[in-house]
Structure 1
């Protein structure tokens, strides 16, 4: 039966494929692909986990006191039966062998299949046994995690696999953790669907960086869609079509072919300088998350890296923080790959929607923080962990000996923070001098993403070399909404007059002070805002590499003086989006 699910469109385009469900669990589950040669070894690991839990339950049963309630003994019997039923671990083998899932993912996928079967049972008693099944699975997951911690050996993760001849795969989940997104980023998925999230949630940002369609905030998709259902993701309309009819399927396949032709046309602009019709040169930089992303940045025609999100070096590490040498190697790799083009490295922006693993920093655990977006995150966390902060700064400064490096600090809101940063930099440079380690000149910049920073920008500009405006958080904090919460996602409005005025004034003040200014948030990569940002005087945009061609096309067609003349009308309007559409469209420029 065909049906539709509606959500928030966050990454444009059409994707068609089979659904792959990532089941939610009260226990953290690692999701990664394994090599074909490792399948039997991975299944053996799953069997060892089951056997370990079996022994644990048998020991508990044997140690029950004589006066223990009979129901407790019977409950342990139920758990043992479920644990050793061939429909659980034995059936999970298919996910390992056929789909190349790791053991934890395979077990979670099979749990999802069985849980649906329990939900459809008419007998209340049998239906309630789903909770027992979930408890059994969580015990096995815990046993698998314990084995991994004891022995680092085992099946190796495969980030990308050749699925030639197989159906395209679409990922469906309640939510996708940033740590999992690191694994999925270079894998086989052609699109993402999540129950929660907004336009600037991490899933949305990564989907756009991969140039694949995504719909978030669907609320029920992971419960309505079944494993291997045929699914269409309409990333333009925010619609998910499950088990589509042949006519609908053919219509969307035609749209896919049209989009491929358009992308091929835009790709021809790669080596064309981004110069407006009136002769202004615009810098188009790339946002990256890992050193290897520089390949896509250069392929897209980026003239530098405007944002290296260093926090991704800190995530998905089971609690271990990267050493100075590991960070230095990563930064150096990115700097050398850009071959003299500038690389802006942002200090670790941990917190909010990007927490560290639960085993690492207790104060960042979401269950202990009422509002992580307002808590100990970004520069606040760095200053609270001075040894970690100095370690990262040393690695960044050492990498500056191999190319042009700029240091960007997130979420600054106080002059006192700037002073602490400068003191730490002075100390770090002294340490490097003492040990004879080379470093180059590093420009210091801050992100304008807290309204306080935008309002007090003239004072901040006296102490820094450049600023980068992070529109994602600036919108979130200005409008007091959680950008990852689909319940208020409709209130996330880049066209809000308050947001536009903060943005325009920040750009104008930086330019007046003779300081470099860029926009590195999602607005920079959205071609719908290109003309507006040019009108505000922006000359440096930083975005995901996949977004550069469409933005460059808009720049090549832009006449900045004419756009600037329309800016006051837009900023003074009660409906800026409508005013911009009327004032900035190509037709209006001709009059």
Structure 2
């Protein structure tokens, strides 16, 4: 029976495929297809892991002390029974044979199937056996992980094989961390569904950067959807359709084809200069997470990188954080990849919905921190860890010797933080000079994402070369809303009058001071705001590479002088979004994205 599940639309488009359910604790399990020629070897790899784990259980039972409770020995017997059960190993082998999943993925897929069956059992004792099954699978996964040679061969297969079965696959999970999203960035999945999250949570942001449909905040989706269900993800409406009827399926396939045609038309604008009807040249920049993202940024027609989120180099590393050399090489690759275009690199912004696993200070890990968004994050964390901060700064200034680099400091809010940051920068510059290392000066910018910063702009304009408005956090802190919490996501409102007034005031003051100002939050890549931001005087937008063409299309059709005239009316309105739409309609500006005639 077909069912519908509603969530928050965070990445536009339609995805149709088979559901792959992944538990939060197993998101980092390798997920890739194997070459058909390696199916038999991969099944053997799984069976070998089973035998190894079985031997481990035999050894554990043999070495049990004589006074150990009999229940423990019985528990080991249960684990061995589960290990030999065809419902686990046999069915996992079928995933390898029929769908060409690698062994780890096949095990995880079958675990989700069996876990659902355990959950539905009426007998409490039997339901509790799910934990035993999970422990057995974890042992198998660890054993497979120790098989480094086979893992390397499988990774090679992943790079060489494009086998994907008969249908695309979509990922369904309770939650996906930012680090895990990066893990999946080059994966086989064509869409995402999560139970939790908000429109500007970093799971949503990375999904948009991947240009794949995604719905978050879908509450019970991971419980209602079963492994291998056919589902539709409607990224425009925030709708998931499970087991759709043939008529509905065909309708959405038609929409997919229309979307692909629209993208191909927009692609024609890639090399068209972003110049408004009245001759204003607009800078459209790209947001990236990793050095290799420089290539799609160039392909999108971006004029540079307006935000390199350096924290993604640190995530999922445990105790093995990148040292100065690793960071330097990563930043240099991004700089060289942009072929002379400017690259703005933000210093590490961890905390809140981007925790740094295993290496955050005790305050970040402590359970008493009820709201990490208000805790030790971004520049606060960097200043609390000066040795780490200096390593990153040295790497940044060294990378600047290979091309134009701008350094961006996140979440500054006070003169004390500004002074401490500048002291660290001057200290690093002296260190580099004294050590004889090659480095180059960088423009220094401040992110305006705390209301306190937006309300004391003259202070920031005196100390920094440029400003970058992070609208995601600015909205969050202005409206006192946790943007990663789906329970209050409906209150997250970029059209709120207070938000728009802070934006307009920041842009106006920066321009009056002759300082560069850009918007690097999600509003920059939303065509619904393009005309208004241009009217406010914004001339630099930074967004996901996939959004550049859509925003450029709007830019090409705008007369900024006419837009400037509507800004006071929008800012003074009780409902700015409706006022903006009415004013644009009266001026003949279309709100529906269409390809510019120049294309």
Q: Give the TM-score taking structure 2 as reference length.
A: 0.91
- SS of 2:199's equivalent in the other structure is coil
Shift of 1:383: 1.4
Q: Measured at CA, do residues 451 and 148 of structure 1 come closer, stay the same or move farther in structure 2, by a change above 3 Å?
A: farther
Q: Distance in 2 between matches of 1:471 and 1:374?
A: 16
- Gaps (5+ residues) in structure 2? 591-599
Q: Measured at CA, do residues 46 and 488 of structure 1 come closer, stay the same or move farther in structure 2, by a change above 3 Å?
A: farther
- SS of 1:156's equivalent in the other structure is helix
Of 529-538 and 577-586, deviating more is 577-586
Of 125-134 and 59-68, deviating more is 59-68
Q: Measured at CA, do residues 354 and 32 of structure 1 come closer, stay the same or move farther in structure 2, by a change above 3 Å?
A: farther
Q: Matches of residues 247-396 of structure 1 in structure 2 within 5 Å? A: 247-358=247-358, 364-365=364-365, 369-396=369-396
For the pair 1:521 / 2:518, whether they are aligned, the reply is: no
Q: Distance in 1 between matches of 2:99 and 2:449?
A: 42
Shift of 1:374: 1.9
Shift of 1:139: 4.5
For the pair 1:459 / 2:430, whether they are aligned, the reply is: no
Q: Measured at CA, do residues 571 and 119 of structure 1 come closer, stay the same or move farther in structure 2, by a change above 3 Å?
A: same
Q: Measured at CA, do residues 589 and 166 of structure 1 come closer, stay the same or move farther in structure 2, by a change above 3 Å?
A: closer
* Residue of structure 2 equivalent to 1:431: 431
- SS of 2:4's equivalent in the other structure is strand
Q: Distance in 2 between matches of 1:41 and 1:367?
A: 46
Q: Measured at CA, do residues 190 and 415 of structure 1 come closer, stay the same or move farther in structure 2, by a change above 3 Å?
A: same
For the pair 1:5 / 2:5, whether they are aligned, the reply is: yes
Q: Measured at CA, do residues 384 and 555 of structure 1 come closer, stay the same or move farther in structure 2, by a change above 3 Å?
A: same
Q: Distance in 2 between matches of 1:457 and 1:371?
A: 27
| 1:245-299 deviation line (CA, Å, top 9, x unaligned) | 1111111111112111211111111111111111111100000111111111111
Report if the CA contact (8 A) 1:34-1:156 is conserved.
Answer: no
* Residue of structure 2 equivalent to 1:442: 442
- SS of 1:287's equivalent in the other structure is strand
Q: Distance in 2 between matches of 1:78 and 1:221?
A: 31
Q: Distance in 2 between matches of 1:362 and 1:41?
A: 45
Q: Distance in 2 between matches of 1:398 and 1:152?
A: 35
Report if the CA contact (8 A) 1:30-1:105 is conserved.
Answer: yes
Q: Distance in 1 between matches of 2:27 and 2:543?
A: 31
Shift of 1:422: 1.4
Q: Matches of residues 63-82 of structure 1 in structure 2 within 5 Å? A: 70-82=70-82
Q: Distance in 1 between matches of 2:170 and 2:186?
A: 14
Q: Matches of residues 108-257 of structure 1 in structure 2 within 5 Å? A: 108-141=108-141, 147=146, 155-156=154-155, 158=158, 161-163=161-163, 166-257=166-257
Q: Measured at CA, do residues 65 and 322 of structure 1 come closer, stay the same or move farther in structure 2, by a change above 3 Å?
A: closer
| 1:386-436 deviation line (CA, Å, top 9, x unaligned) | 122111111111111111110001111121222122111112112221232
Q: Distance in 2 between matches of 1:168 and 1:20?
A: 10
Q: Distance in 2 between matches of 1:188 and 1:160?
A: 13
Report if the CA contact (8 A) 2:33-2:163 is conserved.
Answer: no
Q: Distance in 2 between matches of 1:245 and 1:28?
A: 30
Shift of 1:132: 2.7
Q: Measured at CA, do residues 4 and 65 of structure 1 come closer, stay the same or move farther in structure 2, by a change above 3 Å?
A: same
- Gaps (5+ residues) in structure 1? none
Q: Distance in 1 between matches of 2:359 and 2:423?
A: 31
- SS of 1:192's equivalent in the other structure is strand
Of 340-349 and 59-68, deviating more is 59-68
Q: Matches of residues 469-488 of structure 1 in structure 2 within 5 Å? A: 469-488=469-488
Shift of 1:230: 1.4
Report if the CA contact (8 A) 2:93-2:106 is conserved.
Answer: yes
| 1:444-488 deviation line (CA, Å, top 9, x unaligned) | 001111111111121111100001011111111111121111111
Report if the CA contact (8 A) 2:32-2:105 is conserved.
Answer: no
Of 358-367 and 202-211, deviating more is 358-367
- SS of 1:17's equivalent in the other structure is strand
Q: Measured at CA, do residues 35 and 369 of structure 1 come closer, stay the same or move farther in structure 2, by a change above 3 Å?
A: farther
* Residue of structure 2 equivalent to 1:490: 490
* Residue of structure 1 equivalent to 2:597: none
- SS of 1:408's equivalent in the other structure is strand
Report if the CA contact (8 A) 2:284-2:548 is conserved.
Answer: yes
Cα root mean square deviation, aligned: 2.8
* Residue of structure 2 equivalent to 1:33: 32
For the pair 1:405 / 2:395, whether they are aligned, the reply is: no
Shift of 1:574: 1.3
Q: Measured at CA, do residues 229 and 256 of structure 1 come closer, stay the same or move farther in structure 2, by a change above 3 Å?
A: same
Report if the CA contact (8 A) 2:99-2:165 is conserved.
Answer: no
- SS of 1:585's equivalent in the other structure is helix
Shift of 1:94: 3.9
Of 311-320 and 196-205, deviating more is 311-320
Report if the CA contact (8 A) 1:366-1:372 is conserved.
Answer: no
Q: Give the TM-score taking structure 1 as reference length.
A: 0.92
Q: Measured at CA, do residues 90 and 24 of structure 1 come closer, stay the same or move farther in structure 2, by a change above 3 Å?
A: farther
Q: Distance in 2 between matches of 1:356 and 1:102?
A: 29
* Residue of structure 2 equivalent to 1:547: 547
* Number of aligned residue pairs: 588
Shift of 1:493: 0.8
Shift of 1:156: 3.2
Shift of 1:241: 0.9
Q: Measured at CA, do residues 190 and 151 of structure 1 come closer, stay the same or move farther in structure 2, by a change above 3 Å?
A: closer
